[in-house]
Structure 1
Amino acid sequence: MSQIRQTTGVTTATTHYTSSRTSNSPSIRALQLEYSKLQKEPVEGFTVKLDDDSNLYKWHVGIFGPPDTLYEGGYFKADMEFPTTYPFAPPKVRFLTKMWHPNIYENGEVCISILHPPTEDPQSGEHPSERWNPAQNVRTILMSIISLLNEPNCSSPANVDASVMYRKYKEQKDGEYETIIRRQVNESKLIAEKEGVSIPKTLDDYVAPSRAGATGNRNGKKSIFSTSSHENDDDLGIDNDDDQMADMGEDDDDNYYNESD
């Protein structure tokens, strides 16, 4: 069953797969393994959970602003929607939190090379190696986006006004860009407080989950890196062999890209 959804002038199609737990399609198997591994081995900088346990094609993401950047202390929510051809085609990532950034469209959609299909496009100025390939995964995507927050690519921006303002900020000619980002960070903190989410305040806090390989809990609040929990992986149709494959899988974490449109 397909449902057409209208979002800020952009129409997208969302397909609901009520039987995705038992599906043996390559995309479902790939997403099962990735989701299971991210639950068992939390990663610095973000948290993931499913929109619906029966639909592995849509994830909710929480991205935390890196320390010592304009985004420090921020909590930014996004949706990640995967195609049925994943991992041979990239997902779409759209921020739900209002974001003022050279590489994020006004509707929240992220414009970055790693999310572009692996097709030839001479006009884009991108090398094929910068675009999506099946070796990429959710972690490399989100780490690329986190890096992009503080290091925008202004050569071909998605938001021209934000790009112009960012250039002035970097040239120390204007502080408006910083003012807007600080305001958005403060607004995101209120959302985190309302949702009971604890935001990392130091670099050690920020990287602690990946070092420890486990989630934590402070002051009775939700762990910033806790994912949607399941008592066992059978909820996602993952058996013991799948667990072993997930544990044995190696991430190409050093191969993510910061380039965008």
Structure 2
Amino acid sequence: VDLSRWIGIIPGPKNTPYEGGRFKVDIQIPAHYPLCPPRVTFLTKIWHPNVSSKNGKMYLFRRDWSPALFVISVVRALQCLLDEPEPDDPHDETVTEQYISDFDEFQTTAREWTKRYASDESLEPLNVPRLLQPPSWGGDAKNLDKVREHLENAMSCVDESSGNFQEGVYVQIAS
């Protein structure tokens, strides 16, 4: 199991052009982590000033990274950027120009891209329930404990009272 690569889905926040979308992201933990920030790529196309519309790459924490931050900081920052883009730190000049000069058109385009690329039909499922079952880790308790610890630290995705998966961010550790 490669713990340096996480694949996750981030739901689009309500009252944004990304609402109703589910955005697949690739979070790569570099060898020099935590001295260097994780690299983030949107695998789902997204019309956003802080994400390249060509390749999905973004520079998260390029100025503000601290070794005191955790992967959960990256996940939360992604959620915040979907809620409130930062045009002062752009990664895609075309999208940023539209965001600044014609916000209504930006929202229309972002909604269209969300519908086209981030709908349930356009994403492959992560099969989250299987993620948390010990048999999927071959009975190796050491690996399972590491994975469980990462998942528990990163996010709580199961409602303890009902046992159902909550709306939110789910992470699958790529093998």
Q: Normalising by structure 1, what TM-score?
A: 0.49
Distance 1:102 1:164 in 2: 8
Residue 148 of structure 1: aligned partner: 81
Structure 1 residues 1-261: aligned runs within 5 Å: 54-105=1-52, 106-112=54-60, 114=61, 116=62, 126=63, 131-170=64-103, 175-187=104-116, 188-191=118-121, 195=124, 228-231=131-134, 234=141, 236=143, 238=145
Distance 1:86 1:148 in 2: 22
Contact 1:70/1:150, CA 8 A, preserved across alignment: no
Distance 1:84 1:250, change over 3 A: closer
Q: Tell me the C-alpha RMSD between the 2 structures.
A: 3.1
Distance 2:40 2:130 in 1: 18
Contact 1:89/1:134, CA 8 A, preserved across alignment: yes
Distance 2:124 2:154 in 1: 33
**Identity fraction in percent:** 30
Residue 217 of structure 1: aligned partner: none
Question: In the comparison of the two structures, how many residue pairs are matched?
Answer: 148
CA drift of 1:178 comes to 1.5
Distance 1:151 1:135, change over 3 A: same
> Which runs of 5 or more structure 1 residues have no equivalent in the other structure?
1-53, 117-125, 198-221, 252-261
Structure 1 runs (4+) greater than 3 angstroms displaced: 194-197
CA offsets 1:193-213 (integer angstroms, 9 cap, x no match): x6468xxxxxxxxxxxxxxxx
Distance 2:80 2:15 in 1: 12
CA offsets 1:29-85 (integer angstroms, 9 cap, x no match): xxxxxxxxxxxxxxxxxxxxxxxxx21111111110011221111111111111122
